[in-house]
């Protein structure tokens, strides 16, 4: 046993020197000889020490990933692309604060759990609350220590990535080349066979302690020192300073990004003062004390083969370029956007043009400009009629619109689908396909006609049996009793999203007061500027649209008045399910609180559930909520929702 301990300690020391300090105290042959000796000893004794490097070889392939609930939620980061926006964020954090700047690795986030000095679990980020268990895969990554000095339980967040040099080396011998480092790392981590993970030779960098037992950190610097002291590799670029210095260093990092042996797609900026960051709190998705600065997206060239015109729910025609397939940031790109016809002319794009395209944040790529000199040989001309319904085209500013708002199928389909969506009228089972079928087969032409549908309207439609017909008619009927904010959002007013709709509802309280609003009242609302105010006034002042609202009301649609004052209850009409272990209240107490605030505390998750409140070790109810697309709240988010 003494020799086994010696070998394990020596091999782990050599691995630490190699991965943390780029040092090689022994040759590969000497390392391999020590490793082989350890393997032989383990076979002879049947004993494998917990921190033995043989755990990294990769064992039997798994049949499936198991779910793992993180002790503390993993948050996403809000993103900015300009120094102006970053400076504005920094001002909100406070005057003269110190920040830490780190590389934003383009890899895969994983969460490591250590207990009693051992790596006991590893999981993917998942949805931030529950991830996939990847312990066997993580143990094959040599830069992840299997044992640490600290004996308390703690969670480490970090990025798993593949070095570019490793990718190039693997692709020289691979029969099926890997596309890019990020996809290669993600594919290796989420492979059920740990041996595949090991063969990819991944790296890991720790950047956060999400949970720790027995101590806390006042600053990021203190936390990073803890990580280093426990043998966890941290960002090899780390800069502390004021926001002016941070901006300068970001510019420098962007210039050298292509000299690095790994991909970064930006920089992460955090408040060094962790106590202040915690006091600043969180939005629904992001911590307020940290943010990501995104570098300019990668570019590629390709050839335009065709340009078609797509019609949206407002009737606006948007050009869509169909291009020669090209690999860009890990995806095969076949389509790219252009804003309008002026954009096509300005960028000198025609059929057959070679163009620069850019892809950012996984959205459809944008054409930046033509590579070719001069005007295109085959220029594009704007349509004179709607390509879908043949109606007259109208120019409004820089954009062109189909004037047939009454019977242009793509417009009506998009409007109906938006009206029925979850944040709007929440008509369960009503999709774009359903809308298109009703338009084409029954002649449905406007939103109020939804509430005039009968069982007979669906007879003979493909896929509609008696039960499905009854369900969708029931959902339409149920939607008549709706929140004012949902109804305002459902109307599809240009530039009015769900948040603005809620702000409007909470200010005007009733639909009638909203419909009588003035421009000054609207502009006075937070986040409602002059453009949004004009959009709203133009919509509610349109005679035909106003008539449709009147018809909806006549057909029984009844947006509820927003309650204010002592009688208002934040959970009125909401169904919530509580699951997992909660810190602030036990389950029975929190369910009683839900009932006292006007909500219904249900015992099981169904499509009628509005929220699931998930504590630690949430189980099947949490899983079902994800399957049904139901919003999951942490305990903290629940108390924020009810205003405590």
* One domain, residues 74 and 218: yes
- Domain-located, residue 63: no
Structure tokens at 423: 């944040």
pLDDT at 19 (0 to 100) = 45
If asked whether residues 486 and 528 sit together in one domain, one would say yes
Is residue 210 within 8 Å of residue 71, measured between CB atoms?
Answer: yes
Do 414 and 395 share a structural domain?
A: no
Q: Which of 99, 155, 94, 111 is nearest to 267 (CA)?
A: 99
| Count of Cβ atoms closer than 10 Å to residue 155 Cβ | 21
CA distances from 222 to 218, 272, 425, 440, 589 (A): 7, 9, 49, 64, 38
pLDDT of 21 reads 47
Shared domain check, 360 and 287? no
Picking from 366, 401, 436, the residue at the C-terminal end of a domain is: 401
Residue 581, token pair as written in the block: 């272990």
Q: Which residues contact 298 (CB under 8 A, 6 or more apart)?
A: 328, 329, 358, 359
Does residue 185 sit in the same domain as residue 246?
Answer: yes
- With a threshold of 0.85, does the pTM exceed it? no
CATH code, domain with 597: 3.40.50.10190
Query: CATH number of the domain that 306 lies in?
Result: 2.40.50.140
Domain end point (choices 57, 86, 102): 57
C-alpha separations of 47 from 87, 119, 145, 249, 450 in Å = 56, 18, 20, 50, 70
Mark whether 540 and 469 lie in a shared domain.
Answer: no
Q: Does one domain contain both 373 and 425?
A: no
> By C-alpha distance, which of 635, 634, 618 is closest to 584?
635
Residues 6+ apart with CB under 8 A from 583: 615, 635
Find the length of the chain: 644
With respect to residue 566, please indicate whether it lies within any of the assigned structural domains. Answer: no
Question: What is the predicted pLDDT for the residue at 554?
Answer: 93
In three-state secondary structure terms, 279 is: helix
CATH code of residue 422: 1.10.150.20
Q: What's the CATH code of the domain at 156?
A: 3.30.470.30
What are the counts of helices (DSSP H) followed by strands (DSSP E) for the chain?
A: 24, 24
Name the domain count of the chain: 6
The answer to whether residues 153 and 250 belong to one domain is: yes
Indicate whether 85 and 231 sit together in one domain. yes
Contact between 280 and 310 (Cβ < 8 Å): no
Structure tokens at 22: 């780029």
Measured between alpha carbons, how far is 330 from 38 in angstroms, rounded to an integer? 40
H helices of 22-82, in order, are 28-45
In a domain, 516, yes or no: yes
Which residues of the chain, if any, have pLDDT below 70? 15-32, 55-63, 174-180, 284, 297-299, 329-330, 359-363, 405-407, 526-527, 564-569, 588, 617, 619, 643-644
Pick from 481, 502, 491: nearest CA to 448:
491
Query: Is 569 inside any structural domain?
Result: no
CA distance 129 to 284: 13
Instruction: Report yes or no on 565 lying in a domain.
Output: no
Q: Domain containing 7 — which CATH number?
A: 1.10.287.610
pLDDT (0 to 100) of residue 362: 44
DSSP state of 56: G
Residue 422 lies in a domain: yes
Do 423 and 520 belong to one domain?
no
Which domain, by its residues, includes 502?
482-560
Q: Are residues 333 and 385 both part of a single domain?
A: yes
Taking alpha carbons only, the member of 291, 232, 299 closest to residue 266 is 291
Instruction: With respect to residue 62, please indicate whether it lies within any of the assigned structural domains.
Output: no
Residue 430, pLDDT score: 86
Domain boundary among 244, 265, 294: 294
Establish if 632 belongs to a structural domain.
yes
Q: Is 199 found in the same domain as 86?
A: yes
Q: Which residues are catalytic?
A: 104
């Amino acid at each position: 046993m003494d020799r086994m301990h010696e070998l394990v300690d020596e091999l782990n020391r050599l691995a630490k020197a190699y991965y943390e300090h780029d040092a090689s105290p022994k040759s590969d042959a000497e390392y391999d000889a020590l490793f082989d000796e350890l393997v032989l000893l383990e076979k002879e004794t049947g004993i494998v020490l917990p921190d033995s490097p043989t755990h990294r070889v990769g064992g039997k392939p798994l049949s499936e990933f198991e779910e793992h609930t993180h002790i503390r939620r993993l948050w996403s980061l809000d993103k900015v692309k300009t120094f102006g926006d970053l400076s504005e964020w920094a001002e909100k954090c406070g005057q003269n604060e110190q920040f830490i700047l780190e590389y934003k690795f383009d890899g895969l986030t994983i969460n490591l759990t250590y207990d009693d000095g051992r790596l006991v679990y590893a999981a993917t980020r998942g949805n931030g609350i529950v991830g996939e268990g990847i312990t066997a895969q993580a143990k094959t990554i040599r830069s992840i220590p299997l044992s640490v000095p600290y004996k308390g339980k703690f969670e480490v967040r970090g990025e798993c990535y593949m070095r570019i040099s490793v990718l190039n080396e693997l692709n020289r011998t691979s029969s099926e080349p890997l596309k890019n480092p990020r996809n290669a790392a993600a594919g290796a981590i989420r492979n059920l066979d740990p041996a595949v993970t090991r063969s990819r030779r991944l790296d890991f960098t720790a950047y956060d302690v999400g949970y720790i037992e027995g101590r806390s950190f006042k600053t990021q610097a203190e936390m990073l020192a803890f990580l280093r002291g426990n043998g966890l590799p941290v960002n090899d670029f780390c800069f502390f300073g004021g926001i002016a210095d941070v901006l300068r260093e970001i510019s420098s990092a962007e210039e050298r990004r292509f000299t690095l042996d790994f991909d970064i797609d930006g920089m992460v900026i955090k408040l060094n003062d962790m106590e202040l960051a915690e006091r600043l709190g969180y939005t629904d998705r992001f911590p307020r004390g940290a943010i990501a600065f995104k570098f300019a997206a990668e570019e590629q060239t390709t050839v335009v083969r065709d340009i078609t015109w797509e019609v949206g729910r407002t009737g606006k025609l948007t050009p869509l370029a169909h291009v020669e397939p090209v690999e860009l940031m890990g995806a095969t790109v076949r389509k790219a956007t252009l804003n309008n016809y002026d954009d096509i002319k300005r960028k000198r794009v025609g059929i057959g043009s070679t163009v620069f395209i850019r892809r950012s944040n996984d959205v459809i790529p944008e054409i930046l400009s033509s590579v070719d000199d001069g005007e295109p040989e085959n220029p594009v001309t704007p349509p004179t009629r709607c390509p879908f319904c043949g109606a007259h085209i109208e120019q409004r500013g820089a954009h062109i619109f189909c004037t047939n708002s009454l019977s242009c199928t793509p417009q009506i389909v998009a409007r109906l689908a938006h009206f029925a969506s979850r944040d709007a009228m929440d008509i369960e089972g009503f999709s774009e396909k359903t809308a298109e079928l009703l338009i084409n087969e029954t002649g449905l032409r406007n939103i109020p006609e939804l509430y005039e549908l009968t069982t007979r309207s669906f007879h003979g439609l493909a896929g509609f049996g008696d039960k499905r017909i009854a369900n969708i008619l029931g959902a339409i009927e149920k939607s008549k009793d709706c929140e004012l904010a949902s109804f305002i959002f459902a109307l599809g007013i240009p530039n009015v999203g769900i948040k603005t709709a809620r702000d409007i509802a909470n200010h005007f309280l009733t639909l009638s007061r909203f419909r009588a609003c003035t421009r000054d009242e609207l502009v006075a609302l937070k986040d409602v500027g002059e453009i949004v105010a004009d959009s709203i006034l133009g919509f509610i002042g349109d005679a035909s649209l106003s008539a449709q609202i009147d018809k909806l009301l006549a057909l029984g649609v009844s947006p509820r008045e927003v309650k204010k004052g002592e009688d208002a209850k934040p959970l009125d009409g909401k169904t919530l399910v509580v699951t997992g272990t909660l810190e602030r209240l036990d389950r029975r107490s929190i369910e009683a609180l839900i009932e006292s605030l006007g909500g219904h505390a249900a015992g099981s998750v169904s499509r009628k559930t509005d929220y699931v409140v998930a504590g630690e070790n949430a189980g099947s109810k949490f899983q079902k909520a994800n399957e049904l697309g139901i919003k999951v709240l942490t305990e903290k988010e629940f108390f924020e929702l009810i205003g405590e």
